[in-house]
Amino acid sequence: KQEVTQIPAALSVPEGENLVLNCSFTDSAIYNLQWFRQDPGKGLTSLLLIQSSQREQTSGRLNASLDKSSGRSTLYIAASQPGDSATYLCAPVANFGNEKLTFGTGTRLTIIP
Amino acid sequence: DTGVSQDPRHKITKRGQNVTFRCDPISEHNRLYWYRQTLGQGPEFLTYFQNEAQLEKSRLLSDRFSAERPKGSFSTLEIQRTEQGDSAMYLCASSLDRGQGSYEQYFGPGTRLTVT
């Protein structure tokens, strides 16, 4: 059974700093991995999808990397802004034909103005 | 608005009552998923559909839960004889299977259920 861990559980940083969020998963035989953000009481917003054949994916100030062999993914946020405050969740997909997402408990990020 | 929509956004019900939620996926998305999220936890997979076929159900989906997607478009999730432990956010997501291996899932705003 896939288990996902995100450390730290909570993180506060001053505005403008670069930061890294970590995600680890126990079963490295994944098909792809998706990063989401969730604002309090809201649904999930997809940020990035990394295919298992890729090592990283970029969108604006966000860069996600994937190392399947070590069961790790990181989300790098450059030049953080108060609007980046949210909970960030990573979710690996088990394999082709089984697209259910497995989530950890996320990292709650607070950007201090 | 072309995103995933869910209705209602909030539902308060008394223990023992039945409730039904609706999800409208992004137009032309052939895959539809249901997840449940309790406070402080990540979402947990419940079930998913490819068109109208229900392909997988989690063991979390007890016999009080039933999901349908009769015409391969919108889906409903029904909970019978609700219990307080059913209180959660119910999230719907959809994706498009192009047969090329990229199944990015897009989520709706969720339905928050409170069972009193």
Give me the count of residues in chain A. Answer: 113
By three-state DSSP, how is residue A43 classified?
A: coil
Q: Is the pLDDT of residue B97 over 60?
A: yes
State how far the alpha carbon of B92 is from the alpha carbons of B5, B11, B27, B74, B107, in Å: 8, 15, 14, 10, 6
Place of tokens 């119910």: B90
Rounded to an integer, the average pLDDT of A16-37 is: 93
What percent of the residues of chain A are helix, what percent strand, and what percent coil, each to the nearest 5? 5, 60, 40
Answer whether B91 sits within 8 Å of A105, measured CB to CB: no
**Which structure tokens are listed for A70?**
């070590």
Rounded to an integer, the average pLDDT of B61-69 is: 93
Lowest mean pLDDT among A92-106, B55-69, B85-99: A92-106
Q: Which amino acid is at A3?
A: E
Q: Is the pLDDT of residue A76 over 90?
A: yes
By three-state DSSP, how is residue A83 classified?
A: helix
- Residue A66 phi/psi, 5-degree rounding, is -140, 125
Which A positions 77-96 lie with beta carbon below 8 A of chain B? 89, 91, 93, 96
How close, in Å, is residue A81 to chain B by CA atoms? Answer: 23
How close, in Å, is residue A113 to chain B by CA atoms? Answer: 25
Q: Is the pLDDT of residue A50 over 80?
A: yes
Chain B nearest-CA residue for A90: B42
Give me the count of residues in chain B. Answer: 116
Q: Is the pLDDT of residue B1 over 60?
A: no
**Which structure tokens are listed for A4?**
């996902």
What pLDDT, on a 0 to 100 scale, did the predictor assign at position B98? 72
**Which structure tokens are listed for B29?**
């998305």
* Average pLDDT over chain A, rounded to an integer: 92
What pLDDT, on a 0 to 100 scale, did the predictor assign at position B66? 95
What pLDDT, on a 0 to 100 scale, did the predictor assign at position B102? 61
B5 DSSP 8-state letter: E
pLDDT bin (cut points 50, 70, 90) of residue B49 is very high
pLDDT bin (cut points 50, 70, 90) of residue B31 is very high
Q: Which amino acid is at A19?
A: L
d(CA B29, CA B93): 10
* Average pLDDT over chain B, rounded to an integer: 93
